[in-house]
Structure 1
Amino acid sequence: MRVRHPLRFAVPLAALMVAGCASVGPASPSAPAVVAPTSPLTLSEKAFVARAINKTLYQLEVSRLAAQRATDARVRAYAEGMVGRQTRFTDELVRLMSAKGVPPPKGLGSDNESKLHKLAALPPSAAFDQGYVRVIGIEDHQANISMLEQGRRIAVDRELRAFIDRNLPILRRELGVAQELASSLTG
């Protein structure tokens, strides 16, 4: 199976947005172009967004794989929903990173790339479905909720705080759905 590159769409989109923003200015050709400055992120905020984008890209790729490999229709539907939500989350985070001058990662990172290739080698099965829901749906959501809560405590940047505040309730809902799905798969 061929694994799609996670930033195939996100990075070009962000580059277009940044390039488009640089050309926005007053209508008059003699007036200087004004681009609204954005405050830079602190070192801890940069570390947070780097962790968040790496986790999101990995979960996006695993969810794409699960959407193709899941044997249970409910798991497949959950994975497809995760692909949509993780894509929106990634796009929003890449836009924020670009606006703050933080370069997005160039890939998944070797550890996540290795895990993804191991998962891609597994055959479709009920065990694959249960593992996906348990790891991505429950364990990763719990870790991501904790990460966003910690990020909320350290974030001083208003846009970063708003990003976290918008996404925490979504993660909590997704965790609940995954927990219900997991209990229906095993029970």
Structure 2
Amino acid sequence: MKNRLILWAAGVILALSSCGNASNKDAKETADSINESMADTSAISTDTTATETEDAKFATEAASGGLAEVELGKLAEQKASDAKVKEFGAMMVKDHSKANEELKALAAKKNIALPAAPAEEKQKKMQEISAKTGADFDKAYVEEMLADHKKDVTLFEEASNKVQDPEMKQFIDKTLPVLRTHLDHIQKIAEKK
């Protein structure tokens, strides 16, 4: 039964991602819906299902944010005029790609559906930033990274208290110091702008 459910979820994700946004839901919302329906159809106790749902919500949000960080980092590597901003973008691509792969493997192991693309809100923000050039691009990118990393640190801190799965907690404990380092680094860049 569980294998059929996993195959169904994979099929839904594939179908929705190949439709080119034929649905009004973005990738994060689709993953959230799949995770909720998997929890609803589970015959496990209510407490376990609630815990799994909380773990899945965290994983989905973290994945969406991580995907956006990588895409924006690539953009910064190409478009930034300030060398420090370019370096930060490269660090985002490297560190968040690694974290995304770890989260993807963990989610697969836990039967959690993750989004294949950043949330629609993030995609719109990426388009806005992408339209800028030179110092305007640098400023918009730095502001976005500052806001994102504040949210990321808060998300991971809160999840460290809510998430019950030991492997998910380990991922959080491993990733949180990296996010704090990113926040510190981008704050220093922002102070010089």
What TM-score do the two structures reach when normalised by structure 2? Answer: 0.70
Q: How does 1:17-166 map to 2 (within 5 A)?
A: 42-122=52-132, 124-136=133-145, 138-166=146-174
CA distance in 2, matches of 1:148, 1:102: 17
Higher Rg of the two aligned structures: 1
Across the two proteins, how many residue pairs are aligned to each other? 146
CA distance in 1, matches of 2:162, 2:185: 28
Task: Give the direction of change, closer, same or farther, for the CA distance of 1:141–1:109 in structure 2 (3 Å limit).
Answer: closer
Task: Give the direction of change, closer, same or farther, for the CA distance of 1:150–1:75 in structure 2 (3 Å limit).
Answer: same
Q: CA RMSD in A?
A: 1.9
Displacement of 1:109 in angstroms is: 3.3
Q: Deviations over 1:106-139 (max 9, x none)?
A: 32233322322232222x2112112211221x21
Task: Give the direction of change, closer, same or farther, for the CA distance of 1:118–1:173 in structure 2 (3 Å limit).
Answer: same
CA distance in 1, matches of 2:58, 2:188: 29
Displacement of 1:72 in angstroms is: 0.7
CA distance in 1, matches of 2:155, 2:104: 17
Please identify which structure carries the higher helix content: 2
Which runs of structure 1 show a deviation greater than 6 angstroms over 4 or more consecutive aligned residues? none
- One-letter amino acid of the structure 2 residue matched with residue 125 of structure 1: G
Secondary structure class of the residue paired with 2:118: coil
1:170 to 171, 178, 182: 178
Unaligned runs of 5+ in 2: 1-16, 18-47
CA distance in 1, matches of 2:117, 2:165: 26
Unaligned runs of 5+ in 1: 1-6, 8-38
Identity of aligned residues (%): 27
Displacement of 1:75 in angstroms is: 0.7
What TM-score do the two structures reach when normalised by structure 1? Answer: 0.73
